[in-house]
Amino acid sequence: MQSGRILEISVESVEAAAVAERGGASRIEFCSNTRLGGTTPSDELLRAVRERVSLPISSMVRPRGGSFFYSEEEFAAMQRDIDAAKECGMDGVVLGLLKANGEVDVARTKQLVELAKPLAVTFHRAFDECANLRGALEDVIKSGATRLLTSGGKRTAPESLGVLGGLVRMAGERVIVMPGSGLHSGNIREAVQATGAREYHAGLSSVVAKPGENIGAFEEAVRKLATGLRDCD
């Protein structure tokens, strides 16, 4: 995609990753169990997608669905999953940890960011469960994460474009704020105009039922979104 903006596409199969690349994605978020919001893929899947796709790939690091407050055993599993992502040739990892009170767990996130180096770290939509998004943004920045994936505290990004624009401006150059959830070719121009973000995330489940199975429709949706984003230049 010949654009100054980045389009990250979330997938849970090797075939869907290849299709997203073909459709014009800039980067892949790779995960398992998207119905649960995404969990850590197996090492075998990570190796397979790395062999198939030349785009940068960020692997989800999430031991289970549900809350983002993790036990010591789950935190240790996340550390092992980061090591595996590095060994499998990933370019980044996607993770998010909250404390019991619902605030960003800066200390443990910082540990994982350090462990992941030199891989980029995206703090995912665990952020959207925080009551104070501005305070949570400062916490994500303190953790050293590379970028923040957020829908602005709402179910989808289009419901919160004003908030997302405010977060982008507040972050400045300190962290990349990447709007995601519910974005597609029909609303991407409005999202770009309202937020001014440089990176966008989509799984396209809002326009393609079961994207991993409807490969033809998924590729067309990716292509339309990539073209729409490029045309915003």
State the total domains in the chain.
1
In a domain, 1, yes or no: no
Residue 48 inside a domain? The answer is yes
pLDDT at 214: 85
Angle at alpha carbon of residue 188, lines to 185 and 190, rounded to 5° = 135
Determine the structural domain holding residue 187 and report its residue range. 6-230
* Structure confidence by residue, pLDDT tens digits, 93-116: 999 999 999 999 999 999 999 999
pLDDT on residue 233 = 77
Could you tell me if residue 43 is inside a domain?
yes
The confidence score (pLDDT) of residue 162 equals 98
pTM, to two decimals: 0.95
DSSP alpha helix (H) spans, the chain: 14-23, 43-52, 72-87, 106-116, 133-143, 161-171, 188-195, 215-230
* Burial call 30-51: b when 16+ CB within 10 Å, e when fewer: bbbebeeebbbbeeebbbbbbe
Q: Give the residues across from 117 on adjacent strands.
A: none
Domain for residue 50, yes or no? yes
Question: Any idea what the CATH number is for the domain that residue 213 is in?
Answer: 3.20.20.380
Whole-number Å distance between alpha carbons of 44 and 92: 17
